[in-house]
Homo-oligomer: A and B are copies of this chain.
Amino acid sequence: MTKTSAGNCFEDFRLGQTIRHATPRTMTAGDVALYQGLFGSRFAVQSSAAFATAVGYRAAPLDDLLVFHVVFGKTVPDISLNAVANLGYAGCQFLAPVYVGDTLSATSEVIGLKENSSRRTGVVYVRTRGINQDGAAVLEYVRWVMVRKRDETAPAPGDHLPRLPTAVEPRLIGTACPPLDVAAYDFALAGSPHRFDDYAAGERIDHVDGMTVEEAEHQIATRLYQNTARIHFDQFSAAKSRFGRRLIYGGHVISLARALSFNGLANAFHIAAINGGRHVAPLFAGGTVFAWSEVLDKSELPGRSDVGALRLRTVATCDRPCADFPFKAGDDYDPAVLLDLDYWALIPR
C-alpha cells in the first residue's frame, strides 16, 4: 500500500536528515475561538486586541501553546506515528509572535539516534522549527521519542546523543514579546496587581480551579492541530491497547494547566520558553485537571526594563485539588500527578 503513509520506523531516520512536514496551516480567528472554548484562558494580551495593541503588539497574538500544538501536530505523521513513548522536550523557545493570518509550517532535523538494547525500538531526537509564511522561525524545540523498528534485525545507524540544555538561558528568551509599554498595561483589566517584583523564588501557588475533560473536547482540539496520532481519536483501536480507551494528547493537559494558572499568574501572559516537560501519567476523558505552580527562579532580561521572566514549574494533577501542592515522594511522583512542566513566562515589571 505505497500511497498510504505508515509513518517512519526507527531505521528510517538518519542523523542530520531534515524533514519538511505537511500540511501548512493558516491560523485564524476561528482557531483562537476554539482554543478559548476548549481551555477557557483569560490572559488579557491574547484575549483582547485593544489590550494587546495598547501595550505594543500589532494585534492580539495567538496563545503560545496553540502555536506549539499546531507545529507539533505537523511533525506527528513523520516523527511519532510509530512512537511507543514521548520521552521529553528541551530547549523550546518561542521566537516571534504569531498572529491571525499567519501560515505555519514545520521542519525537523534529526539530531540524535540511539537504538535500545532490545533492538526493537530506538530513541530519535529531533530539533523542530515552526516557521511562518515569510520563512521566519516562530518556535524551536528539541523532542525525543521512542520509535518502533519495522525489523528488529535491521542495522541501526550509529548512536549519537545530542547535548541538550537543562534550561533555556534567559539571554535567549523574549524575542516573541515586543517592547512593552507597561504604563499602558492595565493591571485591573488584566485581573491581578501582581508584577515581576511580587513573585519570589520558592513561592508556590495553588490555582484552585478544576476542569473536567470530555472525549469530544480533546478530539476537537487535537484534530484542530492536524495531529494524526490515532490513540487520541480511534476508540476501536484504543479498546485493544493497554489502556482500553483513548489517550488525551499530552499537550491538552499543558493547555489546561496553563489556563488554570491564570488564577495566581494573571500577568505572566507569555510563555517565552519551555525548559523541559514530563507527561508523568496519562489522562483520560472524565478526569478533572487541577494545577499548582512553583516559582523556581526569576531573571531580568538583558536590555529590557519592561518585562522580567519567571521560571515556573507547573504541576497538573487528575482528580486531586492542589492546596497541598502534590508533587513527589522521593523520586516517585504523587500518583495523581499528570504533568511536570518547567518553563519561563514573561511578566511586566
Contacts and interface: CB of A to CB of B under 8 A. Distances in A.
B206 A4 contact: yes
Interface in A73-98: 77
Contacts of A214: 214-216, 219
A: interface residue count bin: 35 or more
Given A105-B189, A210-B237, A226-B42, A34 B23 contact: no
A189 B23 contact: yes
A87 B223 CA distance: 31
B28 A32 contact: yes
Contact of A212 (B1, B233, B290): B233
A167 interface: no
Given A28-B29, A36-B223, 17 more contacts: A1-B208, A1-B264, A5-B191, A22-B190, A23-B44, A23-B189, A24-B51, A28-B33, A36-B224, A37-B220, A40-B224, A49-B101, A209-B234, A210-B233, A214-B219, A236-B288, A236-B319
Interface of A: 1, 3-6, 20, 22-26, 28-34, 36-40, 42-44, 47-51, 60, 77, 100-101, 103, 105, 133, 188-192, 194, 198-199, 205-212, 214-217, 219-224, 226, 228, 230, 233-237, 246, 263-266, 286, 288, 290, 319, 321
